[in-house]
Structure 1
Amino acid sequence: MRLVTVGVAGSFPGPDSPASCYLVQVPAADVAASPELVAAGVEARDWSVVLDLGNGGLGALQRYVDPADVDAVALSHLHPDHCSDLSGLYVYLRYHPHRGSHRTGVDPHLPVLGPAAVAERARAMYGTEPGESMDGVFAFRPWTAGQAVRVGPLTVTPFRVFHPVEAYGLRVSGPSSVRPGETVTLAYTGDTDLCDGVVELARGVDLLLSEAAFEEGRDDGVEPGIHLTGRRAGQVAARAGVGRLVLTHLPAWSDPRVALAEARTEYGGPAETAAAGDVYEL
């Protein structure tokens, strides 16, 4: 299983990165090396799941995968910096001159998983006409907290987290790329403040991809439930016993070194900040 941090900027695209967009891939070789997946009849091909698709994410995503080959889009919540490029993806899947459904006559029904209003929000962002549906291109499916969703070799489980809107952290399990035959797990916090849900999300994972948009002291006056600081992300990692901490969703006005230093006051394991285009083999 491979994680590509396609977009890591917090709240809006930065000068060096799109907003939130993360690609989880399972190469065909990893599927073939898993006796459990072979026995379950999972097709031994490359699989790709996108976690969030914020502003600018679709453009950068094309460096790593043809959008028409994405197997599912999993949205943590419906703020624009996590979902706005669904509109561009709709255009790509419908109107691509060779692979688009308008040309082929075959609707892709790409699974788009997200909060309860995901279909309504997607239509509003695109500006569909009254009564017009996007369901042929997308197959919308609302999350149910704790209910796992299987996408080929990957299992995605949503955990409700603390944010002003309906929001989920996403726990993803799949075959290891570095330990053939074993299963590995990563957790992505989405946007959240410190809460029991985010700790349970991260419990014992190999890699925790945690937002750290706020800074201790600087952002103390902002209403609670918005974002983690580097320190609080470190607390989550320590309480959950994660194997590795990767900080992300840092706004352009924040210094990643500050977030990382804060995290290291609470968490003694391997920790770093993500950059656009980083690749993590699990």
Structure 2
Amino acid sequence: MSQRELVILGTASQVPTKQRNHNGYLLRWDREGLLFDPGEGTQRQMSFAGVAASGITRICITHFHGDHCFGLPGVLGRISLDGALHPVGVYFPASGEVFYERLIDSSAHNRQVELEPHPITDNGELPPPGAGFTLRAARLSHPVETFGYRLDEPDSRRFVPERLRELGLSGPVVGELQRRGEVEIGGRTITLDEVSEDRPGQSFAFVMDTRLCDGVYDLARDVDMLVIESTFVDADEQLAVEYGHLTAGQAARVAAESGVRTLVLTHYSQRYRTLDQHLADARAQFDGEIVVAEDLMRIPLPPRR
């Protein structure tokens, strides 16, 4: 994988429809593939989307309601069948570990994939992913214990070709400058700062099945892409509160108040045949980029700031 994009595998909530499969979201990040909340039918949706299960390196489960985890056995079986040789990290709320164990051994099978379980007990950074980014979790507000996720790439610096040319720097000396932070050319010391500029890291947040709470805002702050549930339209806000969900307008208000660049709405109740009102409610709160997710859609991460 050499690209960064989100592949939408399913956008339904508790009940799938003819147009919407249960949840499933694959974040393709360079050589990593992070699968979020694999609901029932995720394996089949991956075939429709043209993405390979062998590319999955991590699986992140927000909570153990069926529409967010019933696809796990099938996905793991497919990874084994495809002969993936790398271990797969699986992140999930520790309180649901019994469900995790049942799911991964729910049938007679020959599991070949090596799983690295990471039960989550509280907010904070998760075990080092070793992939050039940090991964952390924040507690959300839902009838069962639920965590959202955030991925952050560290800031770095990049060379500015024009400055290198102006100073006559090329070849091995550029590598030396990168390693040491400075080089001496013609009696002059040139520092890395003189020929480079900040390269902000990219960020991604995944918020699913929650009322408004501190964790939502913590995950969303200044993120490049926010994938967030919008189960109900604003007119049904009371139902959202009762069942532990968000409306489209609430999700968009979070994005506006948190400095989000691209807002991706998803996880729609089966009561809505169209999503026009979701977009209208969100647009009333947020004037940035809004994507009303549909099954099998591919959404590139926005360009670096």
What TM bracket, shorter-length normalisation? Answer: 0.7 to 0.9
**Residue 160 of structure 1, CA deviation:** 0.8
Other-structure match for 2:294: 275
**Residue 187 of structure 1, CA deviation:** 1.2
Q: Which of 212, 224, 238 does residue 230 from structure 2 map onto?
A: 212
2:125 is equivalent to residue 140 of structure 1 = no
C-alpha distance 264-88 of structure 1, shift in aligned 2 (>3 A):
same
- Give unmatched runs, 5+ long, in structure 2: 160-198
List aligned pairs for 1:19-30, cutoff 5 A: 19-27=22-30
Q: Does structure 2 conserve the Cα–Cα contact (< 8 Å) formed by 1:189 and 1:210?
A: yes
Q: Secondary structure in 1 aligned to 2:236?
A: coil
Cα distance in 2 between the residues matched to 1:156 and 1:58:
24
Q: Secondary structure in 1 aligned to 2:125?
A: coil
**Residue 240 of structure 1, CA deviation:** 0.9
- Give unmatched runs, 5+ long, in structure 1: 28-45, 101-105
**Residue 99 of structure 1, CA deviation:** 2.0
**Residue 153 of structure 1, CA deviation:** 3.1
Percent identity of equivalent pairs: 28
Q: Does structure 2 conserve the Cα–Cα contact (< 8 Å) formed by 1:191 and 1:226?
A: yes
Give aligned pairs, total.
252
2:48 is equivalent to residue 56 of structure 1 = no
2:256 is equivalent to residue 238 of structure 1 = yes
Amino acid in the other structure paired with 1:280: I
Other-structure match for 1:92: 78
List aligned pairs for 1:1-282, cutoff 5 A: 1-27=4-30, 46-62=31-47, 63-94=49-80, 96=81, 99=83, 109-125=87-103, 128=106, 137-143=114-120, 144-151=122-129, 152-174=131-153, 182-218=200-236, 220-221=238-239, 224=242, 226-254=244-272, 255-282=274-301
Q: Does structure 1 conserve the Cα–Cα contact (< 8 Å) formed by 2:262 and 2:288?
A: yes
Q: Does structure 2 conserve the Cα–Cα contact (< 8 Å) formed by 1:118 and 1:140?
A: no
Deviations 1:210-265 (A, max 9, x none): 11002223352565361100111112112211112111011232231111111122
Cα distance in 2 between the residues matched to 1:64 and 1:154:
26
Cα distance in 1 between the residues matched to 2:50 and 2:132:
19
Cα distance in 1 between the residues matched to 2:46 and 2:96:
21
Bigger shift: 75-84 or 138-147? 138-147
Cα distance in 2 between the residues matched to 1:162 and 1:212:
14
Amino acid in the other structure paired with 1:277: L
**TM-score between the two structures when normalised by the length of structure 2:** 0.73
**Residue 128 of structure 1, CA deviation:** 4.7
Amino acid in the other structure paired with 2:83: R
Q: Secondary structure in 2 aligned to 1:183?
A: coil
**TM-score between the two structures when normalised by the length of structure 1:** 0.79
Give the root-mean-square deviation of aligned CA atoms: 2.9
Q: Secondary structure in 2 aligned to 1:217?
A: helix
**Residue 182 of structure 1, CA deviation:** 4.2
C-alpha distance 210-223 of structure 1, shift in aligned 2 (>3 A):
closer
Amino acid in the other structure paired with 1:120: V
C-alpha distance 207-146 of structure 1, shift in aligned 2 (>3 A):
same
Cα distance in 1 between the residues matched to 2:60 and 2:104:
18
**Residue 188 of structure 1, CA deviation:** 1.2
**Residue 4 of structure 1, CA deviation:** 1.3
Deviations 1:118-146 (A, max 9, x none): 441133346659xxxx8974321112412
Specify the structure having the higher radius of gyration (Cα).
2
Q: Secondary structure in 1 aligned to 2:257?
A: helix
**Residue 195 of structure 1, CA deviation:** 1.2
Deviations 1:148-204 (A, max 9, x none): 34432343211111111111111123489xx99642112111111111210111000
**Residue 5 of structure 1, CA deviation:** 1.4
